[in-house]
Amino acid sequence: MYLFQNSIIVCHITMTQTNDVIKEGWMTKQGGFWRTWHKRWFTLIGNVLEYYVQPGVELKGSINIMECISVERAPECKKQPAFKIIKGETRTYYIVAENEKEVNEWVTAIHNVLHPPERVPMPVCIDDFKVIRLAGHGIHSVITLSKYVNENQLVILKQYQKKHVGDRSSDIEIINKTQKMKDILFLCSISEVVETSTSYVIISNYVIGDVCTRIRLKGPVPEKQVKIYIAEILLGLEHLHKNHLFFGDFHSSNVLLDEKGHVCLTPIGFRFPLNPKQDRYLEYMSPNYLSGQPATESDDLWGLGIMIYEMLSGYLPFSGHGAKELVKIVADKKIIFPQWVTEPAQHFILKLLGRDPVKITTVEQAKSDSYLEGLNWYLISEQNEIPDYVPQPSEIDQMWMKESFINENHLLYIKDDSHLIEAQ
């Protein structure tokens, strides 16, 4: 059990998603080949228009509205009152309704599916969310998988207590900047940022798994898939770096995997000075970042180099206690690769870690490196390369339920007087 807002909450909820019927009724449709007319029962559910012989009986076909270009009146049709759904050059569907009022209602309903009206955002507060389970934690934050009750939607809540955050106006500006980056492939967007009297809570889209969990569950990643992960990570970092946004402590838990297995980088949250007691993720940090310097593009690429080593071998190249010890280890220790890691992969990692005469310090240099020759960047940028692994919610849930650190001491408490912080 978790203690949250002084109440007991369930650790796991089984959810089913249902699409409401938007509109339904009798209409007559022209066939695509013989051009004959047939009366059908039409149902617009979600973004699909289905048509049946009788209501809910003997489905004859369906039209995916999102694959269509437009819906409009069809004055050229011999039968009236008619409208048409245009699916590019391949097909135009002609449909006749029972009267003008029905035509107008169907055209409006389908048009709103194609071009959803802009919603007026409702104020969001913490009471709108129900925690399902812990999904991670740091020294200053706790991450939970939660449900947005108003829309029956799973989200991730990352909560920071204000007493740890202090006056970090620059970090809040970065979070607001990240919040504006919506619907960008390979980046997980921030939905809202909520402030309570004691906390800041970053609300982002729910993404099922991550690279770190994949390695823990399945072991080393095949090199072919590693290259695809690298390419998707670089495309995500490219968007961030162009906006002067850097992780600094970039690690494999920052690389989420969505329901299709594609990369989705976590939003950048608050940054804190390195704590002497901190022992998580130090192994991913560059000597520059470990020494307290501001985050740069090369720091994220260093983290990527450590991550590639981890994906190919199943473990990290460096380990130590505290930042000072790690800086010395990184400077002195020779990187030893497992025998199954290929020489091209080794050279690429060494370039990212500054151990090769040719150093990689920018995303553009990494993308053009010979190690990634042969990748189809267009297919990857369109997410048309099929990943070899798709995270399963059941195995992720089971893993988290077994984590020994899960207890109420890691949870931060959210008060009821929360309100929305809007991006400026």
Range of the domain at 68: 21-114
Report the candidate in 281, 287, 235, 35 with the shortest Cα–Cα distance to residue 137.
281
pLDDT in tens, 293-308: 888 999 999 999 999 9
- Report which of residues 389 and 290 the model is more confident about: 389
Query: Is there a single domain that holds both residue 73 and residue 199?
Result: no
Q: Has residue 380 got a pLDDT over 50?
A: yes
* Boundary of a domain, candidates 180, 206, 232: 206
Judged against a pLDDT cut of 60, whether residue 26 lies above it is answered with: yes
Cβ proximity of 267 and 205 under 8 Å: no
What is the side-by-side strand order in the sheet with 141-148?
Answer: 129-137, 141-148, 153-161, 199-205, 190-195, 419-421
Closest CA to 314 of 403, 180, 384, 214: 214
Reference 361, options 299, 417, 414; nearest CA is: 299
Residues 263 and 395 in one domain: yes
- Mean pLDDT for 201-227 is 91
Q: Which residue has the higher pLDDT, 166 or 269?
A: 269
**91 with 182, same domain?**
no
Tell which residue, 262, 264, 243, has the closest CA to residue 253: 264
pTM value > 0.75: no
Q: Is 374 found in the same domain as 231?
A: yes
**Pairing outcome for strands 57-64 and 70-73:** unpaired
Reported confidence tier of residue 288, pLDDT bands at 50, 70, 90? confident
Q: Are 281 and 330 in contact (CB under 8 A)?
A: no
- CB-CB neighbours of 211 under 10 Å: 24
349-353 own/partner pairs: CB under 8 Å, 24+ apart: 349/305, 349/308, 349/309, 350/305, 351/305, 352/301, 352/302, 352/304, 352/305, 352/308, 353/302, 353/305, 353/306
Residue 266 confidence (pLDDT) above 80: yes
CA distances 316 to 101, 292, 311, 396, Å, are 66, 22, 9, 22
Specify whether the CB–CB gap between 134 and 2 falls below 8 A.
yes
* Cβ-based neighbours of 305, under 8 Å, separated by 6 or more: 348, 349, 350, 351, 352, 353
Question: Would you say residue 9 has pLDDT above 70?
Answer: no
Q: Do residues 213 and 151 share a domain?
A: no
Comparison of pLDDT for 202 and 164, the residue scoring more: 202
**Is the pLDDT reported for residue 412 higher than 60?**
no
* Helix (H), strand (E) at residue 58: strand 57-64
Q: What is the pLDDT of residue 117?
A: 64
Any idea what the Cα angle at residue 303 is, between residues 221 and 373, rounded to 5°?
60
- Backbone φ and ψ of 298, nearest 5°: -65, -25
Distant-in-sequence, close-in-space partners of 169: CB < 8 Å, separation ≥ 6: none
Cα gap 262→290, rounded to integer Å: 30
Q: Is the pLDDT of residue 108 over 80?
A: yes
Same domain, 276 and 343: yes
Query: What is the pLDDT at residue 375?
Result: 94
Element (H, E) at 366: helix 363-367
| Residue 181 shares a structural domain with residue 198 | yes
Do 261 and 317 fall within a single domain?
A: yes
Q: How confident is the model at residue 255 (pLDDT cuts 50, 70, 90)?
A: very high
As a whole number of Å, the end-to-end CA separation of the chain is 38
| CA 395 centroid distance within chain | 19
> Higher-confidence residue: 195 or 351?
351
- Specify the range with the lowest mean pLDDT, choosing from 195-199, 286-290, 333-337, 392-396: 392-396
Query: In angstroms, rounded to a whole number, what is the distance separating the alpha carbons of residues 245 and 240?
Result: 5
Q: Per-residue pLDDT averaged across 271-282, rounded?
A: 68
Spatial CA neighbour of 4 closest among 127, 175, 170: 127
Distance CA 9, CA 13 (A): 10
Phi and psi (nearest 5°) for 402?
A: -90, -10
Lowest mean per-residue pLDDT among 72-86, 155-169, 223-237: 155-169
Residues 6+ apart with CB under 8 A from 335: 309, 317, 349, 350, 353, 355
**pLDDT at res. 239:** 92
Ranking 169-173, 183-187, 377-381 by mean pLDDT, the lowest is: 169-173
**Same structural domain, 246 and 375:** yes
Q: What tokens does 122 get?
A: 């409702």
> Which residue carries 């267009």 as its tokens?
378
Q: Which of 59-68, 329-338, 347-356, 364-373 has the highest mean pLDDT?
A: 364-373
Note whether 146 and 131 are within 8 A (CB): yes
pLDDT per residue as tens digits for the range 70-98: 899 999 999 999 999 998 777 899 999 99
226 and 347 in a single domain? The answer is yes
CATH of the domain at 160: 3.30.200.20
Domain's final residue, options 59, 80, 114 = 114
Contact at 8 Å (CB) between 207 and 264? yes
Q: What letter would DSSP give residue 196?
A: -
- The confidence score (pLDDT) of residue 87 equals 84
> For position 118, what pLDDT does the model report?
59
- Say whether pLDDT at 396 is over 60: yes
Same domain, 266 and 367: yes
The CATH code of the domain that includes 309 is: 1.10.510.10
- Co-location of 103 and 248 in the same domain: no
CA 93 to chain centre: 35
Q: Quote the pLDDT of residue 38.
A: 93
Is the pLDDT higher at 417 or at 65?
A: 65
Q: How many separate domains does the chain show? A: 3
pLDDT given for residue 384 in this prediction: 87
Q: Is 243 within the bounds of a domain?
A: yes
